[in-house]
Amino acid sequence: MTAVLTWLIEPLQQEFMVRALLVSMLVSCVCGLLSCYMTLKGWALMGDAVSHAVMPGVVIAYALNLPFAVGAFVFGVGSVALIGYIKQMTRIKEDTVIGLVFTGFFALGLTLISKVRSSIDLSHILFGNVLGISSSDILQTVVISVLVLSVLLVLRKDFLLFCFDPTHARSIGLHTGVLHYLLLSMLSLAAVAGLQTVGIILVVAMLVTPGATAYLLTDRFDRMVWLSILSAVISSVAGIYWSYWMDASTAGCIVLVQTLLFLVCFLLAPRHGLLAQRRRSPRASRFPSA
């Protein structure tokens, strides 16, 4: 018992650990909520694209002494707009356009970081640096998080309808174009917040895995949101502790815990887990009940 308490309390005596835990819990709330929409809309690849595309924005913002969030947001939204434009103007399919645009932006970021004089550490952008997060970065993360959470909470039903049936949404006078780009803007902002914690490479896990895990556990959207946030927060806290005691990569540990939680749900979820599906007779699982 004492050993467990020591295991839990000792890291909290370090200020950087407390900050890391608080920041990553806040980011987990934002990403957990947003990941429900990403999962239901099928925007995982878009999340990956946006998170990579913000890189040149981060580099330019640091070089110009601007808040990194501003640069990241401009490039995140810019990449989304560019993807939409190329898709509309050519016959190239969306997944190809996404792959094309995000690698282009990412390459630009890499090139810039090697040429622009700044104090940025490439590995911090790529893999996160939540244990060494600065006060100004914390402030930016808090502002972004409050903004994204507010927009998602106010428009949560509109976004839900937009994901479920955009045609109906449009026919009753909702502005689906605005909802589309607003949700993608929230994705850009959440990616910026998430890259503080786990970095550009793994931020897509924060934007997809909690929602996918929760989707296996419930058929109600409200419950899905809470479960998603809960799994994201648990993963962040457990991942940070794990990385502290194992002296391992924080981003790696957080995402690994998320993935483990997903695997547990994939196997054991009461209705949609693998074992539950096996238990049901093939006949019952194939035909919906009347």
Partner 1 sequence: MPSRPTPFPGSERIAVRNLCVDYHGVVAVHEASLHLDAGTICALVGMNGAGKSTLFKALMGFVRPSAGSIAINGLPLRQARRARAVAYVPQTESVDWNFPVNVHEVVMMGRYGAMNLLRIPRPIDRQAVKEALERVDLWPLRHRQIGALSGGQRKRAFLARALAQGASVMLLDEPFNGVDIRTEKLMIELFEQFRREGRTLMISTHDLAHVTSFCDQVVLINKTVLAYGETSSVFTSENLALTFGGLRLEGDPTTAVEPEPPQAP
For the CB of residue 80, give the shortest distance to partner 1 in the complex, in Å. 22
C-alpha 214/C-alpha 264 separation (Å) is: 11
Nearest residue to 256 via CA among 205, 217, 216, 204: 205
* Choices 10-18, 23-31, 157-165, 229-237 (CB under 8 A): range interacting with partner 1: 157-165
Q: Compute the distance between CA of residue 60 and CA of residue 66 in angstroms, rounded to an integer.
A: 8
Task: Specify the DSSP class assigned to residue 90.
Answer: S
The yes or no reply on residue 168 touching partner 1 (CB under 8 A) is yes
The yes or no reply on residue 40 touching partner 1 (CB under 8 A) is yes
Give whichever of 13 and 42 is closer to partner 1, judged by the CB atom: 42
- Is 93 a residue that touches partner 1 (CB under 8 A)? no
Q: Which is nearer to partner 1, 143 or 160 (CB)?
A: 160
Q: Which stretch binds partner 1 (CB under 8 A): 19-27, 184-192, 262-270, 282-290?
A: 282-290
Instruction: Give the nearer residue to partner 1 in terms of CB position, either 61 or 169.
Output: 169
**Residue 249 · residue 243 · CB < 8 Å:** yes
**172 belongs to the binding site for partner 1 (CB under 8 A):** yes
Of 2, 13, 114, 167, the one binding partner 1 (CB under 8 A) is 167
What distance in Å separates the CA atoms of residue 59 and residue 71, rounded to the nearest whole number? 8
| Binding residue (CB under 8 A) for partner 1 from 174, 234, 238, 276 | 174
Task: Give the residue, chosen from 18, 64, 139, 154, that forms a contact with partner 1 under the rule CB under 8 A.
Answer: 154
Q: Letter for the amino acid at 115? A: K
Closer to partner 1 by CB, 160 or 234: give it.
Answer: 160
Site for partner 1 (CB under 8 A): how many residues? 27
- As given in the structure block, the two tokens for residue 51 are 């998170």
Q: Give the nearest distance from C-beta 164 to partner 1 in angstroms.
A: 5
Q: Which of 1, 4, 9, 290 binds partner 1 (CB under 8 A)?
A: 290
CA nearest to 106, candidates 52, 174, 149:
52
In this structure, what token pair is assigned to residue 167? 């045609």
Stretch that binds partner 1, among 52-60, 109-117, 154-162, 236-244 (CB under 8 A): 154-162
CB atoms within 10 A of CB 269: 20
Decide: is 277 part of the binding site for partner 1 (CB under 8 A). no
Q: Which distant-in-sequence residues (6+ apart) come within 8 Å of 37 by Cβ?
A: 43, 152, 159, 160, 163, 183, 211
213-252 residues in contact with partner 1 (CB under 8 A) are 215, 218-221, 224
Q: Which of 170, 180, 266, 273 binds partner 1 (CB under 8 A)?
A: 170
Residue owning tokens 């238990």: 279
80-99 b/e with 16+ CB inside 10 Å = b?
bebbbebbeeeeeeeeebbe
Number of other CB atoms surrounding residue 132 within 10 Å: 13
- Applying CB under 8 A, the residues found at the interface with partner 1 are 40, 154-155, 157-158, 160-161, 163-165, 167-174, 215, 218-221, 224, 288-290
